[in-house]
Amino acid sequence: MAESENWAFPANLQPKPDEVLFDLKSALDAVVLIRTDVPEDAYTAGTLGTERMGNGVVIREDGLILTIGYLITEAQTIWITTNSGVVVQGYPLAYDQTSGFGLVLPLGKLGAPMLERGTTRTAKVHDEILVIGQGGRPHSLKAKIIEKREFAGYWEYVLDEALFTSPAHPQWGGTAVVNAEGKLIGIGSLLIQEKQDGGQVEGNMIVPIDLLEPVFEDMLQFGKPAGLSRPWLGMYTTEAQGHLVVGGLAKGGPAERAGIKVGDVVLEVGSDRPSRLAELFRRIWRIGPAGTEIPLTFARSGTIKNVRVKSGDRSEYLKKPRLH
């Protein structure tokens, strides 16, 4: 726990009890520290590491924790630490790859309060919010919503409308974003650095809490949303100078097996020509579920190549959790 206590935000940026209309201490204590160990031969070990650390939020009286999924993907060991110093082991109960949410079940009593869920629908740009990390006030920040917009990630991930908050912080994975009523409206995900109007804008991308409700019961029962999985290619694509360029490939994934190379420029999905990353992924997903062949057209070294990629189910490539 000492490792998580050796830094603090400036006092003027930390929330104060007399500045909020809810029980600040209870909200702070609902956020826990999550540490995970992942096997070296795990599929995500090379990109996400074998030792991961972030935050989670207690969302039910029985101690159920909501976090960001990349912290617990393929985790074999999870340790949870509360603000009061209680340490218990946890189990990676569920992961929704569409939203990015993960659920952790504590295997012991946390003694931490729960944080009530609100809604992102009423959140507006310029609203003042709190971003809460484990460790109490020193690790929590008064912030604002600076944008609500679409977000696309190269790992085949799209949110129709994500929240973006500022000031930015690099270690906001799994943090609680709380509105003026003290309710949870989002979970911290990534630090985003983008060029806009000739300058660089920094913020944190937040996954809206409203994405949890439609899949929550399925996650509890099945470990993921019910129904057919989206087709996954393992093709890490980025937008570069108006083009969609393959910047990386998942080792042994469908795209690599189909002969796609780093540097290939995606021209078409079927007969459609996507111009943006989100558009590319949505057109792939519309073709069919995991296992569907995806017809792609690429430009490579001045030549045009047509490839049919037998898509996969991303979850089948991941190590499954084991109950200790």
Task: Kindly report, residue by residue over 168-179, the tens digit of the pLDDT.
Answer: 998 889 999 999
Same domain, 86 and 131: yes
The CATH number that applies at residue 274 is 2.30.42.10
Does residue 48 lie in a domain region?
yes
Regarding pTM above 0.75, the answer is yes
Structure confidence by residue, pLDDT tens digits, 131-159: 999 999 999 999 999 999 999 999 999 99
Give the mean model confidence (pLDDT) for residues 183-201: 83
Same domain, 190 and 302: no
Single residue among 208, 226, 244 that ends a domain in this structure: 226
Q: What pLDDT shows up at residue 323?
A: 59
- State how many domains the chain has: 2
Better-scored residue on pLDDT, 69 or 196? 69
Same domain, 79 and 203: yes
Same domain, 261 and 217: no
8 A C-beta contact, residue 231 and residue 282: no
Does residue 90 lie in a domain region?
yes
Q: Is 127 exposed, middle or buried (0-12, 13-18, 19+ CB in 10 A)?
A: middle
Is residue 162 pLDDT above 70, yes or no?
Answer: yes
Q: How many CB atoms lie within 10 A of CB 286?
A: 12
Q: What pLDDT shows up at residue 6?
A: 79
Q: What pLDDT shows up at residue 2?
A: 37
Share of residues in the chain with pLDDT > 90 (%):
90
The CATH number that applies at residue 177 is 2.40.10.120
Same domain, 145 and 193: yes
Q: What pLDDT shows up at residue 321?
A: 77
Same domain, 252 and 192: no
Give the mean model confidence (pLDDT) for residues 187-215: 87
Strand partners, 88: 80
The DSSP line for 209-261 is GGGTGGGHHHHHHHSS-SSPPPPB--EEEEEETTEEEEEEE-TT-HHHHTT--
Same domain, 149 and 290: no
State which residues form the domain around 293. Answer: 235-317
Listed range (124-128, 154-158, 200-204, 214-218) with the worst mean pLDDT? 200-204
Structure confidence by residue, pLDDT tens digits, 207-261: 999 999 999 999 999 999 988 999 999 999 999 989 999 999 999 999 999 999 9
Same domain, 189 and 267: no
Q: Share the mean pLDDT of the chain.
A: 94
